[in-house]
Amino acid sequence: MKISVIGAGSWSTAMAKVLSQKGHEVTLCARKEEDAKRMELEGENLKHLAGVDLPKKLNFSSFKKIPPSEVVVFGVPAQHVRDVLKEIEFETHGIVNLAKGLEIKTLKRMEEVFKEFTDVPYATISGPSHAEEVAREIPTSVVVSSRKREFAEEIQKEFSTNRFRLYLNDDLSGVEIGGALKNVIAIAAGVLDGFGGWDNSKAALITRGLAEITRIGIKLGADQKTFMGLSGLGDLVVTCTSRYSRNRTIGEMIGKGGMFSDDSNFVVEGAYTVVAELKLAKKLKVDTPIARAVYALIYEHKSPFELIEKLMKRPLKEEW
């Protein structure tokens, strides 16, 4: 297949490598032409995925010159997807989204944002898939979901390798909700790591975080089973525990006494998704105490110890 990958971050670059090694004709498109030329010259993405050799047959281009493709893979951070769609022009028969997040202004999932710009078949890939490990060919399993079953099956077949395995999941809403909201929980998990590693607390946080995500998902019509799968529990666990997790890392920094700061080279999706999540939770009348605590931590600079005490003193209740 002819495939264009939009965005030259770590995850986009790793996916471009996987697809090129699979035998597809792949073009990795960076925002800036000089970045594309630099990757082509150096044979790696020093800015976002240093130390990983890129296939010699991988092509490089910029947003201004996206070649006609059978499939376009979008690896742009969630809060920038709309702006990029307004900026670029492309020809394709289908779109595969890699971004995980909710748009702050509209509270929309990525599928809903893309629908405003195109009606070609759309799919999302989600699950425990840190770019650093995918690029190093460490076995990884994810899910692909689409409203069009045939398109999801095609992507499953054409994207799967003996190191990158795709499962089908028809619950597109649930897959995107799980992928977005797990980043918020991971920030809280990082805070506990910053304290020196509170294992009991972290296990409880992951479990109750999953319950919080599931409550929102069910209200939006998602299947509860989805949140026990790769795009729910699987992605949540890896994001809360991995040294590669940007969301967990920013939480760890806060746990050690630092403060959150916006860095365009180090996108922390959870810090933005939490804003949308709280607005959505209010609209749906869903209780999200962990998300409220993460928001207070980042934007109100509340003490993490104070927030933990507040969580622990909530009225006692049934688990289910």
Active site residues: 182
CA 316 to chain centre: 33
The whole-angstrom separation of Cα 2 and Cα 137 is 22
Please provide the DSSP assignment of 274-303 as one string: HHHHHHHHHHHT---HHHHHHHHHHHS---
Q: Which residues pair with 167 in a beta bridge?
A: 143
Q: Are 242 and 248 in contact (CB under 8 A)?
A: yes
The whole-angstrom separation of Cα 77 and Cα 100 is 7
Q: Parallel, antiparallel, or unpaired: how do β-strands 71-74 and 2-6 relate?
A: parallel
Q: Are 172 and 143 in contact (CB under 8 A)?
A: no
Residue 317's contacts (CB-CB under 8 Å, 6 or more residues apart) are: none
* Nearest alpha carbon to residue 237 among 249, 225, 248, 251: 248
Q: Which residues pair with 95 in a beta bridge?
A: 72, 122
Q: Which residues of 104-141 are buried (b: 16+ CB within 10 A; e: fewer)?
A: beeebbbbebbeeeeeebbbbbbbbbbbbbbbebeebe
Residue 305's contacts (CB-CB under 8 Å, 6 or more residues apart) are: none
The whole-angstrom separation of Cα 273 and Cα 100 is 9
